[in-house]
Amino acid sequence: MFEKLLSENSKWIDAVWVKLDEKLSLVTLRSRDKLPYTSVDGVHDDGKESPLNWTNGFWGGLNWLMYIGTGKECYKITAETSEKLLDKAFFSMQDWHHDVGFMWHLTSGVNYRLTENLSSKNRNLIAAMSLMSRYNVSGDYIRCWNDGTWGEKVAGWSIIDCMMNIPILYWASKEIGDSRFSKIAMRHADMTMRDHVREDGSVNHIVVHDTESPRVLGVRKGQGYSENSCWSRGASWALYGFVLSYIHTKEQRYLDTAIKVADYFIKETQKTNWLPRLDFRQPDNPLYYDSTAGAIASCGLIELAKVLGECAGEKYIESAINILRAMEENWCSWEDSQDSILQMGSLMYTSQIHVPFIYGDYFLVEAMLKLKGNEFLPW
């Protein structure tokens, strides 16, 4: 599929893959015992002391992908080490949140699928059960955070990011033959389609629900510019998340939603030469970007293209290549001395602007592995 486009770009794809492997085969040794979140003065920090940080699974996940792409043992060892470091989180289960999908599905979930390791299967099942238990039956949504996370009561909050956590539920359903998991995932995806995705394909980050009925009480700004704007990473979570819900369920409505969000994302990103802004409705000044949104969206666009096939899919894989090429040219650091690769990530409109994040590197690697033709889907 997409042979012409991929062969036109094959030199670039191969060159980027070689650079990824050259750099990461050094970094994987340096950061083997860490759970990185960002890097400070070029060096990965270490989130081991905050076992519940939502980003703690990306370093292990990235190493699994490099192992899949190269077969090199050094990546497998780091991935396994990383998974074990996450075990500390099992001692504070009352504080778990909805990001258990990001944390375990990319580490334990992938380990189990590659090696049939039973401890990894159990870790992933516990994570799936925990996520399922966050479903609010009256309000019909999966609760994201716990009270106090933002200094307030958040029992009624759902967030767009959760679309990337629910694939662990589809996996658990299949794995143990229990449809409750996927039914709850689909209830949440249907709510997200209805309450988070707007008519033009932009998205709300936070929706506040009545905890006792299916009534929506309002929306909140979250990590974007304002409550009516569109946080680009939120849009990328929705884009990729709906493609994944379609892949796991084959429900046309999820594919239609993924296309709607993808078209909006592409239209907005084209305006800034394929480099995604932090928020698509932020003021022109200051011009904040977010590379992580570009990396996540690229993965979603490539999977969307594959689902749609040769003709209808062309535009989506071409857009992914445009984003990745623009980001590689402008925002990647290939120096061995720097632990992070993709720079210019942004946490939110009000803090941590233009810094590298481990999830940026994770999704960059996932996108390049896909462009190299590898069919492994970690989600």
Dihedral of alpha carbons 332, 333, 339, 343, sign: negative
Residue 104 touching ligand GLY (CB under 6 A): no
Binding to ligand GLY (CB under 6 A): which residues in 284-323? none
* Closer CB to ligand GLY, 236 or 257, in the complex: 236
Give me the residue label for tokens 């889907």. Answer: 377
Name the helix (H) or strand (E) containing 141: strand 141-142
| Residue number, 158 or 223, with CB nearest to ligand GLY | 223
Applying CB under 6 A, the site for ligand GLY has a residue count of 5
Q: Within 216-245, which residues bind ligand GLY (CB under 6 A)?
A: 223, 233
Closest to ligand GLY by CB, 52 or 77: 52
Closest CB 241 distance from ligand GLY, rounded Å: 11
- What distance in Å separates the CA atoms of residue 185 and residue 167, rounded to the nearest whole number? 8
C-alpha distances in Å from residue 229, one per residue of 65, 218, 222, 260, 354: 34, 14, 10, 17, 20
Separation of CA 267 from chain center: 21
Provide the token pair at 79.
């991935």
Sorted by sequence, the CB contacts under 8 Å of residue 249 that are 6+ apart come out as: 170, 182, 186
Closer by beta carbon to ligand GLY, 223 or else 343: 223
Q: Which of residues 319-348 bind ligand GLY (CB under 6 A)?
A: 347
One-letter amino acid at 115 equals: T
Burial letters 325-337, b for 16+ CB under 10 A, else e: ebbbeebbbeeee
Q: Considering the complex, state which of residue 58 and residue 67 has its C-beta at the smaller distance from ligand GLY.
A: 58
**Residues in 165-204 at the binding interface with ligand GLY, rule: CB under 6 A:** none
CB proximity list for 306: less than 8 A, separation 6 or greater: 1, 313, 317
Q: Does 363 bind ligand GLY (CB under 6 A)?
A: no
Instruction: Provide the minimum distance between the beta carbon of 312 and ligand GLY in the complex, in angstroms, as a whole number.
Output: 29
Least spacing, CB of residue 57 vs ligand GLY, in Å: 12
- State the nearest-atom distance from the C-beta of 164 to ligand GLY, in Å: 8
Task: Take residue 81 and report the two structure tokens written for it.
Answer: 């080490």
Q: How far is the CB of 327 from ligand GLY (least distance, A)?
A: 17
Rule CB under 6 A: say whether 54 interacts with ligand GLY: yes
Q: Residue number with the shortest CB distance to ligand GLY? A: 161
Tokens of 223: 């990590």
Options 80, 83, 140, 161; binder of ligand GLY; rule CB under 6 A: 161
In the chain, the largest separation of any two C-alpha atoms, in whole Å, equals: 56
> How near is the Cβ of 237 to ligand GLY at its closest, in Å?
7
Q: How far is the CB of 189 from ligand GLY (least distance, A)?
A: 17
Report whether the peptide linkage leading into residue 286 is cis, meaning its omega lies within 30 degrees of zero.
yes
Tokens 């046309």 belong to 252
Residues that bind ligand GLY (CB under 6 A): 54, 161, 223, 233, 347
